[in-house]
Amino acid sequence: MRKIFSAFIFCFCIASNIDAQKTVAIKCGQLLDTKSGQTLSNQVIVVRDNKVEAVVAANAFKQKTDSIIDLSNYFVLPGLIDCHTHVLLQGDITSDDYAAQLLKESIPYRTLRAARSANICLQNGFTTIRDLETEGAMYADVDVKRAINNGVIAGPRMFVATRAINTVGHYPLSPKEFNWELDLPKGIQEINGADEARKAVREQIAHGADWIKIYADRSYYQLPDGSFRGLPNFTAEEINAVGDETIKSRKKLAAHAMTRDGILAAINAGATSIEHGSGMDDECVQLMVEKNIYWCPTIFVNEYVAEGRAKAGSIINMQFKNAAPAIFTKALNAGIKIVYGTDIGGYDWNVSQAKDFEYMVAWGMNSVKAIQTATTVAAQLLDMEGSIGEIKVGAFADIIAVKGDPTKDIKLLQQVKWVMKDGIIYKTSR
């Protein structure tokens, strides 16, 4: 890690003696205090090694530092946090795209591609991710995280979910197209019954899972009144066993749940976050507010796949797309804790990871609040409050810069110009 640090400092900073380099002063034209939502002008951030040591007004700054980085023409904010990614997936509009990755690519090959995804993530200004399952690549996310932490590859801080859990037969590779005699790879760990549910949670944690992910429902459809339903994937005994085992192991449960049939079961099982929730109804909204459950809406991915899937014969994503603005606005007004998550990997890594901000703002969310979903709120979800998502004394030096004010034009977050993670500079395309 330190070797990389020295190399980057040598390339990009004013360094005469790289070994003695310990403190860096970053001059910020504007700085967003994500906690208060206030934008401050002419601030200096002092970074010592990988942590923020001080944040002071430029006219009061007197400390001698080993180097100075001049971002006085930039808007500076903490590194962004994406709470729903798949570094081991490379976009799947149709079930064929998904099957191709699981059937034609080995796990080592997929892991090499994941190293590229992780680097893209960092270049996009996302310095932390919660990667919500490997989609058939077993525990390879644990290896990607390890390689990042050991300085082998560049990437964000990772919280990983490993394999995810579903019941037998409910997360197949397009079953009608394949010979039933073949033992096809699975995108999840399949279980049957409460004992196997507990065993899967224990196995995944033993292999390095930070979070447990479940798929709570499937086979979604829209009723004539516009509401959405689906089929629950677990019996109450199974899903409650997953939740109980997860919580007893001091981990948290993230539930893919699109309709009340999955959302209510997941909430009862103790889920901390509902992923997608594209067809949530009023009762779900009310319960999530009451129980302080996070909603990770993953907006753009649905827009991305809707048309292609409709052409392939499935219109449900188009129906979710049409319902999305009203559901988002209702949840926002009700006060649900919305956390930023893109599902990137479910869409192409070459497409912006900051698209969801645009939708959130267009559908009524204040732009500072939208940024908070990917900073302070995300840090709370990850139990990292004060360490990430804020530029404050003692926080990790995860810092990004954009040209122009993203609180006035949220699209600017799609063009992050400068990235530091853990005190190391990874992007300087100014």
Interface contacts to Zn ion, rule CB under 5 A: 343
Give the DSSP per-residue string, 118-166: HHHHHHTTEEEEEE---SS-TTHHHHHHHHHHTTSS---EEEE-TT-EE
Smallest distance from Zn ion to CB 323, Å:
19
β-partners of residue 85 are: 131, 344
Smallest distance from Zn ion to CB 132, Å:
5
Longest CA–CA separation in the chain, Å? 73
Angle between helical axes of 260-268 and 236-248 (0-180°, round to 10): 40
Smallest distance from Zn ion to CB 381, Å:
15
Nearer to Zn ion, 302 or 367 (CB): 302
Nearer to Zn ion, 49 or 303 (CB): 303
Nearer to Zn ion, 131 or 143 (CB): 131
Buried b (16+ CB within 10 A) or exposed e, 376-410: bbbbbbbebbebbbbbbeebbbbbbbbeeebbeeb
Smallest distance from Zn ion to CB 92, Å:
10
Q: CA-to-CA distance for 349 and 110, rounded, in angstroms?
A: 14
Smallest distance from Zn ion to CB 86, Å:
6
Buried b (16+ CB within 10 A) or exposed e, 348-360: ebeebbbbbbbbb
Contact present, 354 and 417 (Cβ < 8 Å): no
Nearer to Zn ion, 343 or 356 (CB): 343
Smallest distance from Zn ion to CB 343, Å:
4
Smallest distance from Zn ion to CB 131, Å:
9
> Which pair of structure tokens corresponds to residue 253?
């449960």
- Give the number of other CB atoms < 10 A from CB of residue 109: 12
Nearer to Zn ion, 132 or 197 (CB): 132
Nearer to Zn ion, 29 or 91 (CB): 91
Nearest residue to Zn ion, using CB?
Answer: 343
Nearer to Zn ion, 196 or 275 (CB): 275
- Listed in sequence order, the residues at least 6 apart from 34 whose beta carbon sits closer than 8 Å to its beta carbon are 77, 78, 371, 372, 375, 376, 389, 390, 391
Nearer to Zn ion, 29 or 136 (CB): 136
Nearer to Zn ion, 83 or 399 (CB): 83
Smallest distance from Zn ion to CB 344, Å:
9
Q: CA-to-CA distance for 234 and 193, rounded, in angstroms?
A: 9
Q: How far is CA 321 from CA 29, 315, 396, 401, 411, in A?
A: 39, 10, 37, 32, 21
Pinpoint the alpha helices (H) of 312-424: 316-334, 355-362, 367-373, 376-381
Apex 237 CA angle, 235 and 240, nearest 5: 105
Smallest distance from Zn ion to CB 19, Å:
43
